[in-house]
Structure 1
Amino acid sequence: MSRYFNLSILALLILCTTGCSEVYYPKVISDNELLVVDGLITNASGPFVIKLSKAVKYGSGSVSSPDPVSNAKLTIFDNNGSYPLQETSQGEYTTPPSFVTKIGNSYKLQIQTEDGYMYESDPQQLPAPQSYDSIKSYYTTEKILDSDKSLLTLTGADVRIDLLNSSSDKIKCRFTTNLTVQYRYSIPPVTPYGSIDATDISYCTGYLCHGWATNLSIENNVNITDEISTSANNSISNHKIGFIPFSIAGYQADQDLKFVPSVAYLYFYLKINQYTLNDATYAFYKAAKGQLNASGKIFDPIASQLYSNIKCTNNPSKTVLGFFEASSVVNTAFFIRQGDNSVLINKVPTVKIPPNTLVENKYWACESLPPKDFYLGNLPYPSWWGHGVL
């Protein structure tokens, strides 16, 4: 077994941060301080941020926070010139306003660290974006683990897409997701004797609640399209994006949903990021997926250090982790809710969702008129709530 087993997983998890909400930095066996590069540029509007850190050494106390690499000089080169990046926070380097990507151009990352080492990536061509042709969702049940590692069978939406391609190029795509769970519920009035006393204002109010928790993901590990061996038909049908449970029990691991009643009515706002990959990037994610999907069987792939497209030019024996990626992206969003043994799904605009929150308002539930200063009416939902569809 290679001594770089942990390093291979580290390189993968760093690169998956575009779709995940938490990064895991495993301990490595090597005593060397290895540079980790987390870099992604797309056809979208910048600026883009490239992160540098050091691999966490074996025996260190931390497995969840990076050791940022500061005071480095980063430059991106393309067909038209060079663009120096600026360190905007520790270990994070941002592209200048003048840096605008163009489909078909090639991009190369150069890094000079404070200790004098020079690093350079292979040129990465930015491919044209490949968008999905149709999206569908099936009403089904799946088994998932809750926060206590108990196996639950839950009803939900199995989200899938079709990709059609009339050209001779193979479809090479990667998908990440961001799910917002919207919920609403009410807390009814309570009296000491189990009935409402219309003359006692202190027992005549309940609460209407609504809230949302975002930054959840539904894809499993590395979600890439399967490689097609024949060129006769480049279409990909029924590619699975992920599963959305319709029960609050499927989201118990999220602290903001922990105390939501099980009777809460749930809505879902799903963002899908579809990255079109060049050959080198696809090969990297394919290898990463193979390692993460290994289950310990005799013919499973042997874990090894994942290929990096970045090399140390003044010390070729120095190992580098991570990958400098140039991929085009298409972002789409959908509003989803449960129907009668069905899934209702509709495409909606992509919007920026505020951080997790809960809104509560008192409501009047007595037979007599409420106090003059009492709020009566519907809760003020955000303008994006449900997008007014379905």
Structure 2
Amino acid sequence: MIRLRSFLPLLLFPLLVLSCVTEFQPDTVSLTPALVVEGQITDQPGPYTVRLTRTADYSYKAINLLETGATVSIEDDQGNRETLREQAPGGVYQTRVGGIQGVAGRTYKLVIQTKSGIRYESQPEMITAAPPILKLYTEYRNELVPGTSNRKQGWDLYLDTKDPETTGNFYRWEWTHYEAISVCQKKQVGSGGYTGIYCCTECWDITRCYDCITVASDAEINGQAISGQLIMRAPYTSNAPYYVEVEQQSLSRGAYNFWKSVRQLVSNTGGLFDAAPQSVQGNIRCITDPNVTTYGYFGATGVSRMPFYVDRSKGLGIPDLDYPVNVPYPTNPACVACENSLYRTPNKPRWWVY
């Protein structure tokens, strides 16, 4: 999922200096602290994660504070309910392995009570099953970087699917890259490399694009094929296969409108004729006090996934390699545990074959 606190509740745009007369000094922007909610439940096995932060007063740099000590639960329309457990260091709440799982056709909502006793709820949403991904394929590109003699190469990954005959279908596409690593702790030495310590177990780094928001509706193509949907570009950083999992999400109309608004907001460059900064309307409401402002969205989402290995063996020239990592022997400690987080996991990816 995208990191909403990077974009909400407001984006501040760069200062515009128009001439050599007097530099314009804008007033400091002050915001009332507000809860920011990120999360969803899907029809795929959990655990599901909900992140709670609170906006802080700021001028040019947005800083969000962790909302700790809250009671967070997911409920469905059949009386099933699970209370999420807060994860260290705080502000992140997660269902248990084998806990509640979304089911297509059922309706879900998020309930939050902060440690100060303020109660929030999301508007109920029904999960609609996502159509299957029919095909993933790549196209190699080797392009000249504008204004330089350097070339940038990579593999664009595309998706084909088929929209159902029913109207009112909304989509979002996300991807996750897993890369096996052997060094779990490293630090830069000078400007030419790293020194590190090996992982104690198998370990994978996780890469996602948090500001890549790709959404679509079937308003113009109802019941037709969706072909050549660009998902991402695999970089030429190695000759080894590049493992990626692609996720096709079936959104509610409300979630589609929310992510479409976020996409429009974050793509705004701050130019002279850009629209003014604005908050994005979500589906979270404060039950204790309806006048309290809340940001974010809790979605109920149907998901279809497919793995893909990008063949990078035919890349031209030398890959764009990172600085080497030197592991001295012996090290103290002898190895480092592979942390389980948003960015790293000791759990083998579902379709990993190498």
TM-score normalised per structure 2? 0.68
Q: CA deviation at 1:81?
A: 0.7
Distance 1:179 1:142, change over 3 A: farther
Structure 1: runs of 5 or more not aligned: 1-5, 14-27, 184-210, 249-263, 343-356, 361-382
Give the total of aligned pairs: 286
d(CA) in 1 for partners of 2:295 and 2:235? 35
1:94 maps to which residue?
A: 94
Rg larger in structure: 1
Would you say the 8 A contact 1:110–1:121 is kept in 2?
yes
- Deviation, 1:311, is 0.9
> Cα–Cα, structure 1 residues 231 and 161, in superposed 2: closer, same or farther, change >3 Å?
closer
1:121-132 matched pairs, under 5 angstroms: 121-132=122-133
Is residue 2:53 matched to residue 1:53? yes
Give CA deviations for 1:74-121 in whole Å, capped at 9, x if unaligned: 232211115241433322333365523211111111212122222111
- Output the CA distance in 1 between the equivalents of 2:299 and 2:110: 10
Separation (CA, whole Å) in 1 of partners of 2:32 and 2:165: 46
SS of residue paired to 2:172: strand
1:135 equivalenced with 2:136 (yes/no): yes
1:68 and 2:66 are equivalent in the alignment: yes
Matched, 1:222 2:188: no
Q: What corresponds to 1:21 in structure 2?
A: none
d(CA) in 1 for partners of 2:93 and 2:203?
Answer: 32
Which of 169, 175, 184 is 2:173 aligned to?
175
Q: Alignment RMSD, CA only?
A: 3.9
1:154 matched residue in structure 2: 152
Deviations along 1:332-357, one digit per CA (max 9) or x if unpaired, are 21112235579xxxxxxxxxxxxxx9
Change (3 A) 1:294 1:62: closer
1:288 aligns with 2:274: no
Tell me: CA distance 1:40–1:142, structure 2 relative to 1, closer, same or farther (3 Å). Answer: farther
Gaps of 5+ in 2: 12-27, 182-201, 317-323, 328-347
Q: What amino acid sits opposite 1:111 in the alignment?
A: I
8 Å contact from structure 2 (residues 82, 100) kept in 1: no
Q: Distance in 2 between matches of 1:332 and 1:87?
A: 29
State the 1:73 CA deviation.
2.3
The structure richer in helix per residue is 1
Distance 1:300 1:167, change over 3 A: farther
CA distance in structure 1 between the aligned counterparts of 2:271 and 2:70, rounded to whole angstroms: 43
- Aligned: 1:327 with 2:327: no
Contact 1:35 1:320 in 2 (8 A): yes
SS of equivalent to 2:248:
strand
Runs of 4+ in 1 over 6 A off after TM superposition: 357-360, 383-386
**Deviation at residue 159 of structure 1 after TM alignment:** 0.8
C-alpha separation in 2, matches of 1:84 and 1:235? 38
1-structure distance, mates of 2:310, 2:274: 37
1:11-30 deviation digits (Å, cap 9, x = unpaired):
699xxxxxxxxxxxxxx944
Aligned to 1:120: 121
Q: CA deviation at 1:232?
A: 5.4
TM-score for the superposition, normalised by structure 1: 0.62
